[in-house]
Structure 1
């Protein structure tokens, strides 16, 4: 029997169940309580409310943060900061850090998402085009240009000079340029088995970036169809020299 107000003496359990070292810490071990609380919080966050699962709510919050980050990184709205993104998304900082380690991690996710969208659409157009160089180049360039024209934020992320001064964006631009060079070189090899297209691919990708920057800035006055046609001419002409 135990007296009133006294805890029963008995076996002590470490809540985390991780071994003898935790048993020696006693039944009041805070590490075990923390883990138990974490599980309870996670369980609550994954419950179904209004027919929406916790995972769906979390995915929705991530999409809201990405959309807000896209706007602010591209210069549409306020400052690109954790506070600014949360305000734009209508979420608290807790939900920001649920998805991203910091502002740079969000910038990388936004930029990579834009590049992936462009690459996927461009390659789909190239694959669907007739099996000749001009048709494939023209199809790829048409999709690339229309993708940038349809959403000016894409053009800013890829080419705006002020964003190029941001270290994380500058690094991603270099990496995405390398990716486009590899893709173009791979397409060239599909038509010329003995081709060494690396120099030509560097020249064409770099030159295209300059042309698109001038076009988006209004320094190059030319219709979209003429732009695609002329760039296709240059790509095909250089391809013959590879």
Structure 2
């Protein structure tokens, strides 16, 4: 027997309302994880979202599922917006590097919750594996951009340089967000752009 569709309420389809509630939980989860909370509870997420627990379970099986969904949402948004900025920049190495870095720094700088979620160990050990996979994602994206721009083949040299650049950038952003690297945003973007270009200069092209 086919399940009945969710009813229309207040002019909004049931599926749309469920999507809205899911978005509220994602935002609540980001608030909690991005504030440095060591743990994320279903009760805390429901309180933050101002929604009943039954609505939590229509989208997530448990708190770990919510934490994973929040992290994946932030990473997907970060990757998409950064790639869009690079694609829209002129075909010039400095312009493309600056566009991507400026977008990335802007995202984590404008919303510190995202920076803490991505770079702070306080966000929880449960996200460690996702952090590892997201690092590999950005290593692959950087290597792919370099191959496309310079016409490079796959190589161990390119893999090493991509790992070095992404790891170094992550540490730099961590220090900037926690205040131990006291430079303004424009200077940070310029420094990182220069470093990325220097790394590109020693790539096998």
Question: Could you tell me the TM-score, scaled by structure 2's length?
Answer: 0.91
Runs of 4+ in 1 over 3 A off after TM superposition: 76-79
Deviations 1:102-150 (A, max 9, x none): 1111111101111111111100110011112111111100000001111
Shift of 1:99: 0.6
Which residue of 143, 153, 165 maps to 1:185? 143
- Give CA deviations for 1:26-63 in whole Å, capped at 9, x if unaligned: xxxxxxxxxxxxx7xx64x7111221221122112111
* Preserved CA contact (<8 Å) 1:108 1:169: yes
Residue of structure 1 in register with 2:71 after alignment? 111
Q: Which has the higher contact order (CA 8 A, sep 6+)?
A: 2
Q: For the residues of structure 2 that align with 1:46 and 1:88, how far apart are their CA atoms?
A: 25
Aligned position for 1:170: 128
Please give the alpha-carbon distance, in whole angstroms, between the structure 2 residues aligned to 1:53 and 1:170: 37
Aligned residues: 200
Question: Which secondary structure does the structure 2 equivalent of 1:99 belong to?
Answer: coil
Q: Which residue of 1 aligns with 2:114?
A: 154
* Contact in 2 for aligned 1:71/1:77 (Cα 8 Å): no
1:63 aligns with 2:23: yes
Q: Where does the alignment leave 5 or more consecutive residues of structure 1 unmatched?
A: 1-15, 17-38
| Equivalent in the alignment of 1:211 | 172
Task: Determine the C-alpha separation between the residues in 2 that align with 1:189 and 1:60.
Answer: 39
1:72 aligns with 2:4: no
How far residue 193 of structure 1 moved from its aligned partner, in angstroms, is 2.3
Question: Separation in 2 of the partners of 1:57 and 1:179?
Answer: 32
Contact residue 36 and residue 122 of structure 2 kept, 8 A: no
Decide which structure has the larger Cα Rg and report it.
1
Residue pair 2:89, 2:96 contacting (<8 A) in 1 also? yes
Structure 2 segments unaligned to the other structure (5+ residues): none
Give secondary structure in 1 for the equivalent of 2:180: coil
Q: Give the TM-score of the pair, scaled to structure 1.
A: 0.78
CA RMSD of aligned residues (A): 1.9
Hey, what does 2:183 align to over in structure 1? 222
Aligned equivalent of 1:232: 193
CA drift of 1:161 comes to 2.2
Deviates more, 1:228-237 or 1:57-66: 57-66
Distance 1:195 1:47, change over 3 A: closer
